[in-house]
């Protein structure tokens, strides 16, 4: 019987996961498809029940369901538990549902695919303290990166996140701006800079040093203003396409036991978004 996978979210029309997973399923010659479903928060319970009953083999979960889905699953992997967020559901052989979060490890895989394993063992600055920042902090700490400093517009949120990590410092955006030159790896996780090439920056990156690795998790535009200034300063930059592809690749491998081609997919998505990779 033809297998099927899915992604659920609200909204969902913007998701590039169907494009990516359908290509991987085809490349691996699997008789399967991947379908986006627009599910409103009030229908999440019914949706999960339906996915189960209709034989879905696994699905991705996106905004706003990543936390709300947890009580509807049978098992939650340790990282997803710590993050209190699930982005991937696997249907186990006995029909039970297991939730994972592949965002943080997806980020680290993307970073290491581009810059090599253990590419930065120095000071890390994470800009932002939302769900994405949390996943990335856990992903980095799991792989031995750090020490981590968190900076955020709302200082209390940064302090709350820091308190959940084994060890992390907190700086205001102003302080981070002044000290930005001392960091070896800088990760921009806020939504500032999204959708428009001149959409602003969370802090002034003018003092970023040459050789620093600077990541922005945004992929539309492919190069945010923040990343452009960092590149012009001589930093080694990476946009959010790699993280997106690798979080999906980990899910794909869990579902199929087959490793998808991530490098080719990064090229394809970059091309689709109309640009040159950075």
Report the residue from 35, 130, 159, 231 that binds ligand ATR according to the rule CB under 6 A.
130
Which of residues 136 and 213 has its CB atom nearest to ligand ATR in the complex? 136
Tell me whether residue 35 or residue 70 sits nearer to ligand ATR (CB atom).
Answer: 70
90-129 residues in contact with ligand ATR (CB under 6 A) are 128-129
The reply on whether position 192 binds ligand ATR by CB under 6 A is yes
Binding range to ligand ATR, per CB under 6 A, among 70-78, 187-195, 232-240, 253-261: 187-195
Nearer to ligand ATR, 18 or 130 (CB): 130
The pairing of strands 32-38 and 3-9 is: parallel
Number of residues that bind ligand ATR (CB under 6 A): 15
DSSP letters along the chain, please?
--EEEEEEESS-TT--HHHHHHHHHHHTT-SEEEEEEE--GGGHHHHHHHHHHTT--EEEE-TT-TTTTGGGSSEE-HHHHHHT---EEEE-TTS-EEEE--HHHHHHHHHHHHH-TT---S-EEEE--SHHHHHHHHHHHHTT---EEEE-SSHHHHHHHHHTSSSEEEE-HHHHHHHGGG-SEEEE-SSTT-SSTT---SS--TTPPTT-EEEE---SSSS-HHHHHHHHTT-EEE-THHHHHHHHHHHHHHHHS----HHHHHHHHHHHTTS---
Residue 122: CB minimum distance to ligand ATR, A: 23
- From the list 3, 29, 66, 254, the catalytic residue is 66
Q: Which is nearer to ligand ATR, 64 or 275 (CB)?
A: 64
- CB-based closest residue to ligand ATR: 130
Q: Could you say whether residue 242 binds ligand ATR (CB under 6 A)?
A: no
If binding is defined by CB under 6 A, does position 250 make contact with ligand ATR? Answer: no
Q: Is 66 among the catalytic positions?
A: yes
Q: Which of 36, 104, 106, 202 binds ligand ATR (CB under 6 A)?
A: 202
Give yes or no for residue 87 binding ligand ATR (CB under 6 A): no
Question: Using the rule CB under 6 A, is 262 a contact of ligand ATR?
Answer: no
What's the closest the beta carbon of residue 258 comes to ligand ATR, in angstroms?
29
Interface pick for ligand ATR out of 50, 142, 164, 191 (rule CB under 6 A): 191
Tokens of 265: 């997919």
Residue nearer to ligand ATR on the CB measure, 190 or 256: 190
Pairing mode, strands 58-61 and 168-171:
unpaired
Nearer to ligand ATR, 17 or 256 (CB): 17
Secondary structure of 122-166 in HEC code, one letter for each residue: CCEEEECCCHHHHHHHHHHHHCCCCCEEEECCCHHHHHHHHHCCC
205 touching ligand ATR, by CB under 6 A: no
- State the catalytic residues: 66
Site of interaction with ligand ATR (CB under 6 A): 128-133, 152-154, 157, 189-192, 202
């Amino acid at each position: 019987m033809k297998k099927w996978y899915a992604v659920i979210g609200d909204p969902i029309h913007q998701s590039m996961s169907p494009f990516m997973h359908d290509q991987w399923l085809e490349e691996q010659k699997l008789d399967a498809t991947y379908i986006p479903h627009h599910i409103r928060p009030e229908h999440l319970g019914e949706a999960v029940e339906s996915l189960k009953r209709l034989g879905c083999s696994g699905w991705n979960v996106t905004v706003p369901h990543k936390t709300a889905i947890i009580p509807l699953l049978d098992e939650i992997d340790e990282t997803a538990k710590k993050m209190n967020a699930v982005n991937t559901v696997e249907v186990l052989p006995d029909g039970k549902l297991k939730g994972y979060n592949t965002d943080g490890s997806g980020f680290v895989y993307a970073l290491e695919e581009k810059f090599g394993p253990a590419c930065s063992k120095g000071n890390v600055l994470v800009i932002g303290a939302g769900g994405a920042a949390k996943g990335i902090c856990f992903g980095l700490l799991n792989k031995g990166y750090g020490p981590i400093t968190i900076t955020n517009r709302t200082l209390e949120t940064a302090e709350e996140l820091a308190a959940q990590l084994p060890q992390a410092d907190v700086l205001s955006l102003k302080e981070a701006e002044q000290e930005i030159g001392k960091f070896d790896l800088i990760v921009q996780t806020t939504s500032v800079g999204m959708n428009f090439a001149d959409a602003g920056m969370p802090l002034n990156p003018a003092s970023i040093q040459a050789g620093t690795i600077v990541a922005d998790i945004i992929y539309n535009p492919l190069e945010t203003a923040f990343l452009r200034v960092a590149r012009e300063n001589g930093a080694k930059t990476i946009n959010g396409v790699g993280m997106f592809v690798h979080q999906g690749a980990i899910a794909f491998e869990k579902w199929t036991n087959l490793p998808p081609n991530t490098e080719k997919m990064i090229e394809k998505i970059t091309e689709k978004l109309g640009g040159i990779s950075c």
